[in-house]
């Protein structure tokens, strides 16, 4: 939705504009905007930040610690069903009260992806301490308070309630309690959440009108993997999650089709179908990735301190003989020859 407010001009300074925001796609109604407190007077910064968030995300009250100057920037991408945002700010506290909710309900579910800065989230049921790599899911029409002692960088995904119900087969965030997931490279991360963060980040950094509909559909499909079931998401999303799981556990010799299927929440038959749809065979894909990992290790300086058996174990192979045989079949020479080439 277009609105009058502070946006960035081509010179980087904020200007006031009543012009409609650009429609970035002739076939897909999208608006994109960027807001910053840079260049605003000290006395106006908090008020204008609140005004922007009330129009672009949700109504809230903001205050800085020790009356410090608020330094904040927000990039917003409004798709027909979903809203992406990237927020960067120094230390401050925000609060969404019953008054905000009564005057302008958002009727949405929000996902906050923390990229930088520890924070707290206070709600009627208690408080949660959150670290980077956390995704907090909450009902926007329940009061809450958030605090950022060292500033923040985060991605925000807003999902209208009707869309969320469709995604989750009628589910709700339970009794106003926040739902917390992990994302990123940790073994405890939710791969669907990680994929959503990656997709949002790419879209916000490089807005490409030709991909907006595909992007929104992809994120909705990934959300089904979190809030419905892995099997409820589409083949492409399931492949993306399976591939991420394989990359994370590639060095584990126990990695297998049953382990992957169980971990991502699909049957072994469905897992086989996922890879068949991509023109791949699962076991051969795992082997290829392990061989490429081994080849990278052999061509690195750390190979000087490793034997071929060490490289085999590092790359997820139980047998050095098997590793040497399949390596030669794939690359045309044995792993030892690669070590000698690098050494020469």
> At a CB cut-off of 8 Å and minimum separation 6, what does 12 contact?
38
Structure tokens at 117: 């800065």
Per-residue pLDDT of 169-179, as tens digits, reads 766 666 668 89
Per-residue pLDDT of 103-142, as tens digits, reads 999 999 999 999 999 999 999 989 999 999 999 999 999 9
Phi/psi for 322 (5° steps) reads -65, -40
- Our CA dihedral for 9, 10, 13, 15, rounded to 10 degrees, sits at -20
Structure tokens at 146: 């958030």
Mapped to the 3 state alphabet, what secondary structure does 195-250 carry?
A: HHHHHHHHHHHCCCHHHHHHHHHHHHHHHHHHHCCHHHCCHHHHHHHHHHHHHHHC
Confidence grade of residue 289 (pLDDT, cut at 50, 70, 90): very high
> At a CB cut-off of 8 Å and minimum separation 6, what does 318 contact?
253
SS3 58: coil
Structure tokens at 82: 């979903």
What's the average model confidence in pLDDT over 151-177?
84
Lowest model confidence (mean pLDDT) among 46-50, 64-68, 281-285: 64-68
Does residue 32 have a pLDDT over 90?
no
């Amino acid at each position: 939705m277009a609105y009058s407010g502070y946006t960035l001009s081509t010179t980087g300074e904020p200007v006031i504009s009543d012009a409609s925001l650009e429609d970035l796609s002739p076939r897909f109604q999208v608006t994109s905007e960027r807001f910053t407190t840079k260049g605003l007077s000290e006395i106006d910064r908090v008020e204008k930040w609140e005004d922007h968030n009330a129009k672009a995300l949700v109504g809230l009250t903001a205050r800085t610690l020790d009356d410090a100057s608020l330094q904040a920037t927000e990039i917003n991408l409004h798709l027909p069903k979903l809203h992406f945002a990237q927020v960067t700010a120094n230390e401050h506290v925000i609060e969404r009260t019953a008054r905000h909710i009564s005057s302008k309900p958002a009727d949405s579910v929000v996902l906050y992806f923390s990229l930088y800065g520890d924070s707290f989230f206070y709600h009627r049921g208690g408080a949660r301490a959150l670290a980077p790599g956390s995704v907090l899911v909450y009902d926007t029409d329940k009061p809450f308070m958030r605090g950022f002692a060292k500033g923040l960088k985060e991605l925000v995904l807003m999902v209208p309630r009707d869309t969320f119900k469709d995604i989750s087969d009628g589910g709700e965030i339970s009794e106003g309690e926040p739902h917390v997931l992990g994302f990123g490279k940790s073994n405890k991360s939710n791969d669907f959440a990680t994929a959503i963060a990656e997709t949002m980040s790419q879209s916000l950094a490089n807005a490409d009108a030709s991909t907006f509909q595909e992007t929104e559909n992809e994120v909705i499909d990934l959300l089904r993997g979190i809030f419905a079931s892995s099997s409820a998401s589409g083949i492409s999303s399931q492949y993306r999650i399976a591939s991420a799981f394989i990359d994370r556990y590639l060095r584990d010799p126990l990695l297998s089709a049953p382990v992957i299927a169980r971990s991502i929440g699909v049957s072994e038959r469905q897992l086989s179908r996922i890879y068949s749809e991509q023109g791949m065979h699962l076991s051969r894909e795992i082997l290829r990735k392990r061989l490429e990992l081994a080849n990278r290790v052999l061509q690195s300086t750390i190979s000087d301190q490793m034997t071929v058996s060490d490289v085999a174990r590092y790359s997820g192979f139980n047998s050095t003989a098997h590793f040497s045989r399949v390596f030669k079949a794939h690359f045309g020479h044995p792993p030892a020859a690669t070590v000698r080439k690098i050494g020469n």
